[in-house]
Amino acid sequence: MSVETRVKRVTTHVLSEMKLKGEKISMLTAYDYSMAKIIDHAGIDVVLVGDSASNVMAGHETTLPITLDQMIYHAASVVRGVQRALVVVDLPFGSYQGNSKEALSSAIRIMKETSADAVKMEGGTEIIESVSRILSAGIPVMGHLGLTPQSIHKFGTYVVRARQEGEASKLLDDAHLLEEAGCFAIVLEKIPATLGERVARELAIPLIGIGAGGGVDGQVLVVHDMLGINQEFSPRFLRRYHNLFAEISGAVGNYVQDVKSGNFPNEREQY
Ligand code: KIV
């Protein structure tokens, strides 16, 4: 029996066992109780309360505006909807880059106020002191390398990262550094597939890709993108499994017509 079907609750240990056995890890974002409940029921391994909430929930252009309090609100709602998956929460921009003490107190707030299982942080060597401090407090950390949206103003664009040798070798060094520090997994975003495959081969911890090719240990997508709720984002790596925008707006259109025509409520729908 696969590790995935055997377990009642996904832990960081389960994920490393899955990597060892060559079983792929599935991960999706969620930001609220109802969606978390649906994707957990469908058998997702990891639920990420991503700071992409800033884009898809709040309508901001970048992930930078979302606050720690807002992330805590989303994460606590998600945790209430999840029974099996591991819940990972993004530390938002500005809550960990200042210094490692501030980083630890942000991570502690997330763990105490949401009951999530782990935090995720963007960056390598620049944030390693904070990563180590959080890990020493017993909080599991997932890394995030490649395209790191919290640094969009430094990059200036959302194009594929680490195509050049210099950036690729820094990414590889950063991945090793995060593994040595004790991270249980790393997200690799928008990098060449050959590099994703190489990092996954060299590291013992799971590498979860988003636009990092098929040679990594698992995949993550933003749930609003893969369900077609958000239609404004169509990168090459995105596979849309549904067109919920059309489905929902069709249903709402029918409701509007029924209300206007007096067809709703009918006799059985009233007291
Ligand atoms: O915030 C997010 O949704 C993420 C994923 C894109 C990995 O970090």
Q: Three-state SS across 54-70?
A: HHHCCCCCCCCCCCHHH
User: What does the pLDDT average to over 202-215?
Assistant: 98
> Could you tell which of 52, 78, 152, 161 is best to mutate to test the pocket of ligand 1, judged by most ligand atoms within 8 Å of the CB?
52
**Backbone conformation region of residue 24, classed left if phi is above 0, alpha if psi is from -120 to 50, else beta:** beta
> What pLDDT is recorded for position 144?
98
- CB of 90 sitting under 6 A from ligand 1: yes
Exposure pattern of 153-180 as b/e (b: 16+ CB <10 Å)?
A: eeeeeeebbbeeeeebeebbebbebbbe
Distance 27 CA to ligand 1 centre (A): 10
> What pLDDT is recorded for position 232?
84
Better-scored residue on pLDDT, 6 or 152 = 152
N-to-C CA span, the chain: 52
pLDDT (tens digit per residue) in 173-188: 999 999 999 999 999 9
pTM above 0.75, yes or no: yes
| Burial environment of residue 37 by CB neighbours within 10 A (0 to 12, 13 to 18, 19 or more) | middle
| Burial environment of residue 103 by CB neighbours within 10 A (0 to 12, 13 to 18, 19 or more) | buried
Residue nearest atom 5 in ligand 1 by C-alpha distance: 50
> Could you tell which of 25, 47, 51 is best to mutate to test the pocket of ligand 1, judged by most ligand atoms within 8 Å of the CB?
51
- How high does pLDDT run on average in the chain? 97
Query: CA angle 160-163-169, nearest 5°?
Result: 120
Q: Does 216 have pLDDT greater than 80?
A: yes
Residue nearest atom 8 in ligand 1 by C-alpha distance: 50
Question: Known catalytic residue: 189?
Answer: yes
Nearest to 185 by CA among 4, 13, 9: 13
User: What does the pLDDT average to over 68-74?
Assistant: 98
Distance 223 CA to ligand 1 centre (A): 10
> What pLDDT is recorded for position 5?
73
User: What does the pLDDT average to over 197-203?
Assistant: 98
* Bridge partners for 210 per DSSP: 189
Tokens of 269: 């729908």
Which ranges in the chain belong to alpha helices (H)? 3-6, 12-20, 33-41, 53-56, 68-81, 100-114, 128-136, 152-155, 165-181, 193-202, 223-226, 244-261
110, 116 contact by CB (below 8 A) = yes
User: What does the pLDDT average to over 67-95?
Assistant: 98
Residue nearest atom 1 in ligand 1 by C-alpha distance: 50
Domains parsed from the chain with CATH numbers:
3-240 (3.20.20.60), 245-271 (no CATH)
> What pLDDT is recorded for position 2?
83
> What pLDDT is recorded for position 150?
96
From the CB of residue 77, how many other CB atoms can be counted at a distance below 10 Å? 18
> What pLDDT is recorded for position 4?
73
